Amino acid sequence: MKLSVIMPVYNERETIREILRQVRAVKVVIPGNHIIGRQDDSPLELEKEIVVVDDGSTDGSRDILQEEEQEGDLKVFYHEANQGKGAAVRTGIEQATGDILVIQDADLEYDPRDYPKLIQPIVEGRVKVVYGSRFLGPRKAMLFWHMVANKILTLTTNLLYNTILSDMETCYKAFRAEVIKGIPLHARRFELEPEITAKVLKRGHRIFEVPISYYGREYHEGKKIGFWDAPIALWTLIKYRFVD
């Protein structure tokens, strides 16, 4: 079984080497005694591929990726111009070859050491989609108005799609490959999160949440999502409740 880590990158020169080091270092080992249909109780270590999509970076991130690519353990794809996080993740999904896919931002807000807990319910055969919730685990305090927007969007998701999520906007989303590859996605920017969530739920997949660590960064540190993205996300949730 193979895990594909999909990493969109846009102007992350200060963090890209470190996040790649962390992703490379983590071992995704799952206890074998609860895997449905498996006779061997020994731990299962997943093979791992890292799929990086540079979305038209202009700060030198591309040069760093070209150096890192020489290690031979990365699959790097380059957008000629910036298209948005959604477009980069869509490219990564298309190019990934793993049985399970997880999305990883390149900004050090999320900790790859959480991969095993994200992946375990899927490997065990219990669910096909897992979200890592920042509100169930330890976290560095996020900006207040970001929290408010997140709560409003998550509540809207729960009302529209009859679910009980605590963190719809989380980056850490893990899927069986056939689930996410079978969903037509159109988002180009940060509306990717509500589009994926809406379409996963409309297809009858219940989302399992696990607690994760979160180290939120400030705008002066390079945070990119803005308040203007919240109304777009809200409209995306409403739109996909009625169209596909």
Domain that holds residue 225: 2-242
Say which residues have a Cβ less than 8 Å from residue 173's Cβ, sequence separation at least 6. Answer: 102, 103, 129, 130, 131, 132, 193, 196
Strands (E), the chain: 2-9, 29-30, 44-45, 47-55, 74-79, 100-103, 129-133, 139-140, 173-176, 208-211, 214-215
Determine the residue type at 174: A
Report the candidate in 48, 46, 59 with the shortest Cα–Cα distance to residue 16: 59
pTM (2 d.p.): 0.91
For residue range 40-98, what is the model confidence (pLDDT) as tens digits? 788 999 999 999 999 999 999 999 999 999 998 999 999 999 999 999 999 999 999 99
Tell me the CB-side half-sphere exposure of residue 102, using CA atoms within 13 A: 29
CATH code of 95's domain: 3.90.550.10
pLDDT value, residue 61: 97
Q: Are 116 and 30 in contact (CB under 8 A)?
A: yes
| The pLDDT of residue 221 | 46
Cα 177 to Cα 29: distance, rounded to the nearest angstrom: 19
The number of folded domains in the chain is 1
Report the pLDDT averaged over residues 146-161. Answer: 90
Residue 223, pLDDT above cutoff 60: no
